[in-house]
Chain A
Amino acid sequence: MNSKPKIPSIPIEGSISWEDWLKGRRYRRELSQLVAPGINRRKTSSSDRRLKKLFNGERGLPFTPTAKL
Chain B
Amino acid sequence: MDAERIKSALADITAEQDPTLKSAKLASLCSALWAERGVDLVVVGGSAIEILTEGAYASGDLDMCHATKASLSVAERKEIMGLLDAKGGPRNWQVAGMYLDLLGPVESFARTPYRRIEGPYGNFLVTKPEDLLVERVLMSFYLGESKTAWKCARELAIVALAGAVNMDWNEVLRVANRPEYRNVEQCKVLVREVADELKTKNPFDSD
Contacts and interface: CB of A to CB of B under 8 A. Distances in A.
Contacts of A59: 59-60
Interface of B is mostly: mixed
Interface residues of B, number: 51
A17 B47 CA distance: 18
Interface residues on A, range: 35 or more
Contacts of B115: 10-12, 16
The 10 closest A-B pairs by CB, nearest first: A60-B60, A5-B163, A36-B151, A15-B116, A29-B54, A61-B19, A35-B154, A32-B55, A28-B54, A32-B155
18 contacts: A1-B200, A5-B164, A9-B166, A15-B118, A18-B117, A24-B164, A29-B54, A31-B53, A32-B56, A32-B155, A36-B152, A51-B59, A51-B60, A51-B61, A54-B60, A58-B60, A60-B19, A60-B60
Interface of A: 1-2, 4-5, 7, 9-18, 21, 24-29, 31-36, 38-42, 45, 47, 50-51, 54-55, 58-64, 69
